[in-house]
Structure 1
Amino acid sequence: MKNWTELENSSFFDANARERALGMVDKGTFTEFLNPLDRYCSPHLPVLGTAVEFDDGTVCGVGLLGKHPVFVVSMEGKFIGGAIGEVNGGKMVATIRLALKAAADIKAKYPEEYAARRPLVAVSFETGGVRLHEANAGLLAHAEVMDAFQDCRGIVPVVAVVGSKVGCFGGMGFVAAATDVIVMNEEGRIGLTGPEVIEQEMGKDEFDASNKALVYRTTGAKHKYIIQDCNYLVEDKIGEFHKTLAEVAEIPMAEIEKMRRIGSLKLVQEQQELVKLVGDMQPKDSMDLWKYFGNEDPAALPEMTTAEFLKVVKRRVRS
């Protein structure tokens, strides 16, 4: 395992779930819940002849960002594509509930300092969605996680962190959208249906999953940032995610609420306006939308570094 300084300078995209969990919080502060030594794994996979992991492919724990407790969920895409089942879904829900309990305890003990000590939930999504081996349990886990996010609303900020190899797809794309804030690197991707599935169902003429440039223009972070489905776009370093989470931890909840994409009638209407725009435009490529939102040379944007992109990009204006 790399030391903390090495982790901070490492690629988030290449890091495993435990490295991301350790690096997103302050040095030496992370404590893991149900670590591999506890051997808490899925009871369903052995029945199907599938290998298990002793953390069920999801690292959960708590650390600090300054005085803010940060409850971390970090998914491992190398284990069944980061898919969600009964155990790792339960770990996610329990971690979020612990954040809510911590918020109540801190408010009771430090009422005058609560804002400076308010907890935060950070979920590093690396998942293709539901674990088909545990279909019903996995679907239930999706619902329970979203329900737990709703319980946090206005109390504890929930941040989706997306920047790993698998991306965030399937039902977990819905789950990520239900968070308060989304932070991505350029390599991050979010979508409901994965590119390969679209190609399989609709044909290569509709969507060529082997065209990586097309995939990133459609599901990638730059596109999500332009259309305001991503709040922060950062360089691909664990330390940059750490720094951004520390900034979000200091933002008042009233401002956090303004960063959401769903969760109110106004936000639903805003999304409907975007859907209507796409229906009216019938764009052939996401770059058509980029140009509509004020980017005169949209073809240049994918080739830019993150820093160059952030200096010049024009984003959808939210109503």
Structure 2
Amino acid sequence: MSHAAMLSRESFVELGARARARVLLDPGTFRELAGPFDGLTSPWLARQGVVPQADDGVIVAKGTIGGYPAVVLAIEGAFQGGSLGEVGGAKIAGALELAAQDNRQGTPTRAVILFETGGVRLQEANLGLAAIADIHAAIVDLRRYQPVIGVIAGQVGCFGGMSIAAGLCSALVVTREARLGLNGPAVIEQEAGIAEYDSRDRPLIWSLTGGEQRIATGFADRYVEDDGAAIRATVAELVALPPAAPRSAQYALYLERLARYDPARQADAAAVRALFAGDQP
């Protein structure tokens, strides 16, 4: 990449959730729904000494992408680590449900979810879990009609129940800075010990759950530089494609591959790649 190109790049990772949604939508079409002035704050955080945020850390924006009707759902990783509770989860699930309803009524609305989340918000545990389950169901419903595109850029990554949501998307876009895993490094270390997974070992973490590894093992579909224009172009390409067989429909293949793995062996990047490439005996 030339020096001029490097200087012209706009980091997508460094943007907040609202700015990321604006980058993806066609110029002049951004319209925020259930925004901060609607006062949809969590009723539970203040009771536990946490200052709530007026949009509960979730941006819902309608507009067009490449001329197609679209809704962008962006999670703000800077608020509570992007964790989802009752209100933020309901905003995402409700928007996806309305997009599916649009399709049934003749408006071919696509959806893009920008994941920056550690999963359920601990302060709202069961309510957050129920909301994430609603998100899963809504993705499965909508993807029958139009693509549901997931983007994991960084810096938080995508973990917990929302990693399942990422796996349910029609296509998943990642950057080198992205991370995707069911459990976060600190949780694994806490439960299995530092010998199993050192949450401070950044090279190890990215080698197993980073964007490059997730592409190599087939858990993501597009690998893009941290550049707003490049991510916008990739998303615009994907929302124009007809719905394809989702990755989640290949569960038998993944179960067969996992059955080959010996959990007594310490996993490393090469072994995981061989496993999901079908090369490991």
TM exceeds 0.5? yes
* Equivalent residue number for residue 210 of structure 1: 200
Cα deviation digits, residues 94-153 of structure 1 (max 9, x gap): 11122112223335xxxxxxxxxx321100011111111111110100110011112113
Deviation at 1:180, TM superposition (A): 1.4
SS at match of 2:70: strand
The alpha-carbon distance between structure 1 residues 13 and 104, as it changes in their structure 2 partners (threshold 3 A), is: same
Counterparts in 2 of 1:83-98, with a 5 A limit?
83-98=83-98
Query: How many pairs are equivalent?
Result: 272
Which of the numbers 233, 239, 249 marks the counterpart of 2:239? 249
CA distance in 2, matches of 1:18, 1:10: 15
Counterparts in 2 of 1:41-60, with a 5 A limit?
41-60=41-60
CA distance in 1, matches of 2:80, 2:15: 17
User: Which 4+ runs in 1 deviate beyond 2 A?
Assistant: 104-107, 276-284
CA distance in 2, matches of 1:42, 1:57: 10
Q: 169-178 vs 136-145, which deviates more? A: 169-178
Q: Do the aligned partners of 1:99 and 1:156 also contact (CA within 8 Å) in 2?
A: no
* Equivalent residue number for residue 201 of structure 1: 191
TM-score norm. by structure 1 comes to 0.80
Partner amino acid for 1:275?
Answer: L
CA distance in 1, matches of 2:76, 2:42: 15
Deviation at 1:252, TM superposition (A): 1.7
Which of the numbers 213, 217, 232 marks the counterpart of 2:222? 232
Gaps of 5+ in 2: 1-7
CA distance in 2, matches of 1:165, 1:75: 12
SS at match of 1:172: helix
SS at match of 1:41: coil
Q: Do the aligned partners of 2:176 and 2:210 also contact (CA within 8 Å) in 1?
A: yes
Deviation at 1:283, TM superposition (A): 6.0
Counterparts in 2 of 1:132-281, with a 5 A limit?
132-253=122-243, 256-257=244-245, 260-263=246-249, 267-279=250-262
Partner amino acid for 1:67?
Answer: G
Counterparts in 2 of 1:72-151, with a 5 A limit?
72-106=72-106, 118-151=108-141
Partner amino acid for 1:68?
Answer: Y
Deviation at 1:177, TM superposition (A): 1.0
Partner amino acid for 2:78?
Answer: K
The alpha-carbon distance between structure 1 residues 30 and 287, as it changes in their structure 2 partners (threshold 3 A), is: same
Q: What is the identity percentage for the equivalent residue pairs of Structure 1 and Structure 2?
A: 34
CA distance in 1, matches of 2:167, 2:94: 20
Partner amino acid for 1:150?
Answer: V
CA distance in 1, matches of 2:228, 2:264: 38
**Aligned alpha-carbon RMSD (Å):** 2.0
Q: 139-148 vs 243-252, which deviates more? A: 243-252
